[in-house]
Amino acid sequence: MSTKKFKTEVQHLLDLMIHSLYSNKDIFLRELIANSADAIDKARFESLQNPDMAAEWEIRIDTDKEAKTIKISDNGVGMTMDEVNTNIGTIAKSGTKAFMKALEEKNASDSDVPELIGQFGVGFYSAFMVADKVEILTKRAGSSEPAVKWSSSGKENYDVAEAEKASQGTEVTVYLKEDMDEYLSEWKIRQIVKKYSDYIEYPIKMQVVKKGEDDKEEISEETVNSQKAIWLRNPSDVKQEEYDNFFEHLAHFGKPMKTIHFSAEGTSEFKALMFLPEKAPFDMFTPDNARKGMHLYVRRVFITDECKQLLPDYFRFVKGVVDSSDLPLNVSRELLQENAKMTMIQKNLVKKLLSELKKMQEKEPEKYLAFFKEFGKVLKEGIHTDYTNKDKLQDLAMFESMNNEPGKLITLKEYVHTMPSAQKDIYFITGESRNMLENSPHLEILRSKGFDVLFMTDPIDEWVAQSMNEYEGKKFMAVGKGEIELDEDTAKEVEEKNKKATEEHKSLLEFIKKHLDENIKDVRFSKRLTESACCLVGDTYDPGAHMERIFKAMNQDMPKTKRILELNASHPLVASMQKLYDKDANSPKLGEYAELMYDQAVLTEGGMISDPLSFSKRVSDLMVNALS
């Protein structure tokens, strides 16, 4: 036996491992099982040229409660003395990397290359999180060299010596620390294997104790992993019942509305199985729900169910699995989401999802409508956050509109193709409900012309609308902001009327603006109004009144934005106030009427007036005067 010193980088790694580099110590078993599967992959490949190496491939887990050990063994490729020193003594030369390099040098075809799992010599060190000591007994398949025994307590040195072993493969014996006895229990091992290694291709066997007749304990051998990676099977071979069962395993509720099962090849190779649920989970808008949808595997080895880079946030309702063939399995698994290949995988997943949703929208409109009613609020987030796919997401978005019956949702394409020829822009208005919006004075001129207006009633629509600039060459116009663009004949008529009214009521406008200076930035005659006396509008890029209400509901501070008070030049109230102004420009009634108009405008847009008591008193006084 000889004692050797670890390389500097290994000493550093061991220190990190022992002090919980991984937050979850269960991972050590995942790593050792992955290494065993990797070793069998190599042996199976080499057995194609050397049939004597072929075997009934298997991985075993054995425990010894008295000795407090857990042993993971395989009948894979094994290692020679030199390979042990190379693979275990350093990190830079892992067994998998060396193996892949050898294949490249031999120009092996892709079909000859087995799926390799893990990088032996890296994840192996995670065993020291739970171990006082680790031993390896290994014999190289197809070699006449003696077996090798390696042992270390995770300090600076390791011992290595020739040993006796009858068959090929590797045994890793972990001597558990005092407080790690749970890893000796059958249920704990089953739990870890089920979570992390259930889809390893080779059987993972262990001895279990069961009570037989007369309550006598009987020892039997069981395979504890299912070996059924449903996402690796041909979709034509999978029954819908199997998909439904797997979805329930992932989501824990309901059934899938749509199943998307495909393989990606080329610059990034992976297999994906994704589900669109029938119903939204109750916690879809809860921050703690973040990213429990997609599970990431690398060559059947479970990595995480919280891989934030697999899908953008607006697809957080999607459930499923991605199994990559070319992502690395190494020490930085927790940081795997930062790998550049993840960006390519996400791009492919998003492309596929958008394509399937578009297909559903066109070929199964009723099914898509049901989907959108459940998940449309989330899907629309992408219009604001995903510039690359904004046009495709706009195609998928649906809204109610003024010219359609309540409850009916239409696409932007349907809106554009059915709007009157005289209508040049896409008009929209945001608010809490259709009932409130369809009574808004902002719609009056548009309704009179037969124009259509989109009703955006989801809270997210306030943010989405900021990113919706145009669709099929037509601009989006908020009916409650900026100037309304009307057809040429109407615009000319309204402008002439407003110009005349502005000259006639110039002094009254100046009085109202001065009196309401704390609340408004300007007062002018409106292009929007045909029936109501007044309304409030914002400048083109001002936050809307609905957004202000949303922020208040979330207890978020938002600076008050002064808006413009628009008056209807044809309304009798304007003429009556002008008469009162001409009679007595200092009449206190003028100020009260101006404040009444402003409060009226706030109420009609669904806002809260600052002094309800004063408003009520003024209305009562007006009623008394009218009745008398």
Residue 119 clears pLDDT 60, i.e. is over it: no
What pLDDT was estimated at residue 342?
84
What's the CA gap between 496 and 577, in Å, rounded? Answer: 22
Residues 266 and 163 in one domain: no
Rounded-to-integer distance, Cα 128 and Cα 110, Å? 36
Q: Which of residues 480 and 358 earns the better pLDDT score? A: 358
Gyration radius of the chain over CA positions: 36
Shared domain check, 556 and 467 = no
In a shared domain, residues 607 and 528 = yes
Structural domain includes residue 382: no
Place of tokens 């009723």: 366
* The pLDDT of residue 340: 76
Q: Is the pLDDT of residue 33 over 70?
A: yes
List phi, psi (to 5°) of 338.
-85, -5
Q: What is the mean pLDDT of residues 310-335?
A: 77
Residue 113: pLDDT above 70?
no
**pLDDT of residue 111 exceeding 50:** no
Q: Is residue 150 part of a domain?
A: yes
Residue 516 and residue 453 in one domain:
no
Residue 377, in any domain of the structure: no
Q: Is residue 483 part of a domain?
A: no
- 370 domain-assigned: no
pLDDT of residue 548: 66
pTM over 0.85: no
Residue 169 has pLDDT above 70, yes or no: yes
The answer to whether residue 23 scores a pLDDT higher than 70 is no
pLDDT at 372 over 80: yes
Residues 62 and 116 in one domain: yes
Q: What is the CATH number of the domain that holds 424?
A: 3.40.50.11260
Domain boundary among 191, 223, 255: 223
Q: Are residues 170 and 23 in the same domain?
A: yes
- Least confident stretch, 109-113, 515-519, 567-571: 109-113
What is the structure's pLDDT at 116?
Answer: 32
Q: Are residues 330 and 217 in the same domain?
A: no
pLDDT of residue 108: 44
Name the pLDDT band for 554 (thresholds 50, 70, 90). Answer: low
CATH number where 587 lies: 1.20.120.790
Q: Say which amino acid occupies 277.
A: P
Query: Do 571 and 532 contact (CB within 8 A), yes or no?
Result: yes
Average the pLDDT over 587-599 and give the result: 91
Residue 390 lies in a domain: no
Give the pLDDT confidence of 54-100 residue by residue, as tens digits.
899 999 999 999 999 999 999 999 999 999 887 775 544 444 444 44
Beta strands in 445-562 (DSSP E): 453-456, 470-471, 474-478, 520-525, 534-537
Same domain for 429 and 330?
no
- Rounded Cα distance between 477 and 283, Å, is 34
Task: Give the pLDDT band of residue 303 (cuts 50, 70, 90).
Answer: confident
Residue 334 CA to residue 408 CA, distance in Å, equals: 46
Q: Is residue 375 part of a domain?
A: no
pLDDT of residue 126: 79
Mean pLDDT taken over the chain: 84
Higher pLDDT, 404 or 627: 404
Number of domains in the chain: 4
Residue 117: what pLDDT? 28
pLDDT interval class at 326 (50, 70, 90): confident
Q: Are residues 234 and 219 in the same domain?
A: no
| Domain stop point among 201, 223, 245 | 223
Domain assignment present for residue 387? The answer is no
For residues 39 and 99, membership in a common domain is answered with: yes
Domain holding 91, by residue range, is 2-223
Could you tell me if 188 and 243 lie in one domain?
no
Mean pLDDT of 355-375: 96
Confidence at 501, pLDDT banded by 50, 70, 90: very high
Single out the residue in 447, 478, 509 at which a domain terminates.
478
